[in-house]
Structure 1
Amino acid sequence: MTKLAIIGGTGLDEIPDLEITHREVCHTPFGEPSAALTHGSISGHEVVFLPRHGASHMIPPHLVNYRANLWALRHVGIQTILGVAAVGGIGSEMAPGRIVIPDQIIDYTFGREHTIFDNDLSHVTHIDFTMPYCKKLRQDLIEAGRLSGVNPVAGGTYGATQGPRLETAAEITRMERDGCDLVGMTGMPEAALAREFNLCYASCAVISNWAAGKSEGSISMGDIEKNLIKGMDHVKSLLVELLRIRAK
């Protein structure tokens, strides 16, 4: 079984249970990745970890070098990637602290470097993005969630917004009309680029708060941090089971 790479988002800048063997600096045709690749193991299973926002969480969502991150992971032999992300909940099932394995995505971002097929082309390339996430990895994640007792929401549409600001209540209302169940800032172009690189990619979304207008009062960063602690504990439990499933 090939190694699994984990791209960590807000709340997952490092994995405490990761036994680190070495770090690897990669230089790519698209510039520098967010950080050095961390090689190691979790419960005896080899993984590669990359913090999406940098080692010190200093890179905002719209400035993440998604192309470099994915190029670097593929360069070291990775074929399967789990993208972990903190999100806001829109749908009634999407309560803070829950884990969601989305199956669809709507892209509201703009101005990001969103494709590798834009220079020195011999022909125009279009990828099939009907189903944006890897079916096999999603199934394994859902099963891992069941075995770990996390019981994630097994589907939902992720609305990817530009950030770094949070959304207005009216924007969330529009997104809900569009069919979005959750909202985040890093889902795209990461998922589409993974498809362009021919990588198996799925998302594990951790709901850190109700989206704008979905709860009383303003969104509290303190509440977000509290919910992320709970949610990331669930992610770590799910990861252990996922690695066991993949090792069979």
Structure 2
Amino acid sequence: MPELPEVETIRCSLLENIGAVIKDIEFRRTDIIKVQDYKPALLLGQHIRDIRRRGKYLILDLEPGYTLVVHLGMSGRFYMQDEDAQISAPHVHMIIYLDNGYKLIYMDARRFGGVRFMTDPEKIFCHMGPEPLSEEFTDSYLREVCRNRKAAIKTLLLNQNLIAGIGNIYADEALFAARIRPGRPAGSLRPAEIKRLRQAVVKVLQASIAQRGTTFRDFRDGYNKSGEFQQLLQVYGKTDCCCNICGQTLKKDIIGGRSTHYCEHCQK
């Protein structure tokens, strides 16, 4: 699933379309529309005023009261292409034609994602935790979130109501960077460990954004190009591989229903 760095990479890729006018919208499947507060045809002639991100959601702000919210699910892509270029990719469900010579393409093979035509997107964002790259994500906030919790620290990191945007990849990578075992009860973390974890979360997310995200198979940025952070992963997906720090074989467990990779020796 595209996580914070992947969605942020797409957002940055598409910023050049701010100010463009929507000429037409083509749907090849309408079941990708999860919320429809207004008819999509009302967007024709509207300017793209801003392109934002909240957690794993991409947000296109149009005229006041009109917002298009995109969630990529497990395998979705949202990218730009020259208007005259032929669309050869399968599973394309929505095409937005702009007046600047580009079209925006939404595709999703597994269709776990979708689009929302909303008048008030805060309805789905108000319950979400702070952005981990914002000033709100402090040591004291993370310490309070962890206090007295018996749930595994990895489960806590994945809880979008507590921290927005972290998924399986970056939870594993941040916990490895912080040398904290993912199955530990969150309430057992000491203040120094919490500080180390917060710093690791920020560092790992920023590093992935700098590499334009992680691509295994599906993810592409707003130019339909692969990311490169997969080349720098330390533990995620590395079943039976050796730890780059100590050389011991990495472990794989299931925590909170999610596959989890870690080093039993380096992470305590």
The TM-score, its normalising length taken from structure 2, stands at 0.28
Higher Rg of the two aligned structures: 2
The TM-score, its normalising length taken from structure 1, stands at 0.29
Using CA pairs under 8 Å that are at least 6 residues apart, name the structure with larger relative contact order, 1 or 2.
Answer: 1
